[in-house]
Amino acid sequence: MSKQQSLTDMEYTNRKRKTKRDVFLETMDDLIPKDEWCAVVAPYYPNGKRGRPTRGIETMLRMYLLANWFNLSDEGVEDAIYDSYAFRKFAQVDFIGDEQAPDATTLCKFRRLLNENGITKLLFDTIARFMEKHGRIMHGGTIVDATIIEAPTSTKNADRQRDPEMHQVKKGNEWHFGERLHVGVDAGTGFIHAMEVTPANTGERDMLPRLIRPDDTVMYGDAGYSGLAKRPEIKEDQHLSGIDYRTNTRNRLHWKTQAPGFDWDRYIEYQKSRVRSKVEYVFLIIKRLFHYRKVRYRGLAKNRTHAFILGACANLFMLAQSGWRMGSCVR
């Protein structure tokens, strides 16, 4: 049953145009598997028989998603719901009755619940299973890549030190301090099927076994993954040793010395890059659309929780880009 519109709702629907924020929130509201996600959280959520009465799981999930999508603090998203009609509509908070938006403390406790029980990883797996069920994920090939998420380098805090779980690493001629986000992307569709978060000094090639699926036969990667077939741990693994590693080469000097004619070396590298470039769109969504260029919390556990929910939402956003709607399938 549809909810009855208030005078504010009717007035707001007569506006001449929708903002990009309105369009984004309406699209994501249509795509989020609310029932499945609420069912995942329900076993860990307080029953409300003791202590303070609890708010609905769906309301807390919506508020948590707003905080992650728009890079808002707990207090910031609470204020935004009171200030923005688009936020209030997405959070489904009705001020006509006695209902009010959940306060920042309630959201903080909910976020802690998700972190302590690893629930965002379960939500990420739910989206992956849903897309695989409806044929949105192919098998046989994986694109792997990693990006550095910066962390504060200041020591002006109570401990007089930087985050001990983060680390610095040199990339090119620049030093970076933070974590490294590793992703495994389906080579056919570009959707994320695996994620890992490590300190920035962890090698990209060391995380490969956690990003490869059991039925993968081809792996695409940039020059940082070159030489994988020669590593001892790859040779000893029966599955990994049989994979075709199609990585871009570092050495391009021999391209200038080849015989005149068609440039096959450049053509082959171009074809590898055409497939591998799909992973860059994933990083664009996570780092630009969801503003995850810098870590929000101290320690890897909380940032891993943050990364998995953004990975799940990135898959939903790419589904929206492909014209997919939840009403177009029988669930």
pLDDT surpassing 70 at residue 297:
yes
Reading the block at residue 65, the tokens are 């998603």
pLDDT surpassing 70 at residue 61:
yes
pLDDT of residue 6: 65
C-alpha distances out from residue 184 to 90, 143, 304, Å: 31, 6, 15
pLDDT surpassing 50 at residue 330:
no
Reference 220, options 266, 180, 274; nearest CA is: 274
Lowest mean pLDDT among 7-11, 75-79, 210-214, 231-235: 7-11
Listed by start position, the domains of the chain span: 7-117, 136-296
pLDDT surpassing 80 at residue 241:
yes
Reference 8, options 84, 62, 76, 77; nearest CA is: 84
How far is Cα 167 from Cα 162, in angstroms, rounded to an integer? 9
The terminus-to-terminus CA distance of the chain in angstroms comes to 19
pLDDT of residue 327: 46
Residue 50's Cβ-count burial label (10 Å; 0-12, 13-18, 19+) is exposed
Percent of the chain with pLDDT over 70: 87
Reference 110, options 160, 172, 65; nearest CA is: 65
Q: Which residue has the higher pLDDT, 34 or 5?
A: 34
Write down the pTM of the prediction: 0.88
Confidence of residue 325 (pLDDT cuts 50, 70, 90): low
pLDDT of residue 262: 67
pLDDT of residue 265: 80
How far is Cα 274 from Cα 276, in angstroms, rounded to an integer? 6
pLDDT surpassing 50 at residue 329:
no
Q: Which residues contact 105 (CB under 8 A, 6 or more apart)?
A: 74
Three-class SS of residue 103? coil
Query: Across the chain, what does the average pLDDT equal?
Result: 86
Question: Between the ranges 6-15, 194-203, 228-237, where is the mean pLDDT highest?
Answer: 194-203
User: What is the amino acid identity at position 126?
Assistant: T
Confidence of residue 331 (pLDDT cuts 50, 70, 90): very low
pLDDT of residue 157: 82
Confidence of residue 308 (pLDDT cuts 50, 70, 90): very high
pLDDT tens for 75-118 read 999 999 988 888 988 998 877 766 788 889 999 999 999 999 99
Mean pLDDT computed over 188-215: 92
pLDDT surpassing 80 at residue 15:
no
pLDDT of residue 111: 94
Q: Which residue has the higher pLDDT, 169 or 17?
A: 169
Mean pLDDT computed over 14-35: 86
How far is Cα 131 from Cα 31, in angstroms, rounded to an integer? 12
Q: Which residues contact 235 (CB under 8 A, 6 or more apart)?
A: 229, 241
